[in-house]
Amino acid sequence: MGSNIPVCRQAHIKLEVVFFMYLWSIEMDAVLTSMSCFRLLCEEADIRCGADEMAVTQLLPNYPVYAELAAASTVLTTGRAALQKRIMALLRKIDQSTQGNSQAWEDTFRNWDATTRYLESYPKVKLGEDGRELTEIMKFTKRKTPNTNTEHELEDQLNEWANMTGFLCALGCVRLSNKSQR
């Protein structure tokens, strides 16, 4: 039914990466949508595993945590900080490294590193390792938000940096255990 078809597996990994990457967004709607999309991964695993007669955790090792993330998207939260705190608590429950969460961690780390270098140099203009200005690099790593102006950009970047830091720490244990098993 598709659990062994390479293109299905690649699509599943890519979706997992995207859903994880949006968990650290500063836009609550994007975060809540991402959280609810984890339910789709669970539903897909239920369907594919039922047809292939395999355990759901074989296809989706972190199924219980993904189901909790999806359920948490429907709970009323009082602000971005509370939502991020809840997400980080759930991410710390992940105990299985997957290609999706590993890739999301790596991609987030690259964004975090670029943001860190930019924030360290703020308001000075510095050159990155490749000779481009860090402000030019940030154009590619920062997610675009509607109606942003320079007055709020630094605050948004700091909030996103804090969210990325929390994400990296929350998934860091799984990431490190994956590297030590190699």
pLDDT at 146 over 50: no
Is the model's pLDDT at 122 over the cut of 80?
A: no
What are all long-range contacts of 11-17, with beta carbons under 8 Å and residues at least 24 apart? 12/41, 12/44, 12/100, 13/98, 13/99, 13/100, 13/103, 14/100, 15/40, 15/41, 15/100, 16/41, 16/98, 16/99, 16/100, 16/101, 16/104, 17/100, 17/103, 17/104, 17/107
Provide mean pLDDT across the span 33-56: 88
Task: Give me the pLDDT at residue 148, please.
Answer: 46
Does the pLDDT of residue 36 top 50, yes or no? yes
More confident of the two residues 16 and 149: 16
Looking at per-residue confidence, does 66 or 147 come out higher?
A: 66
* pTM of this structure: 0.81
The domain segmentation of the chain, as residue ranges, is: 6-181
Percent of the chain exceeding pLDDT 70 equals: 79
pLDDT of residue 126: 54
1 or 81, which is more confident: 81
Q: What mean pLDDT comes out for the span 97-116?
A: 96
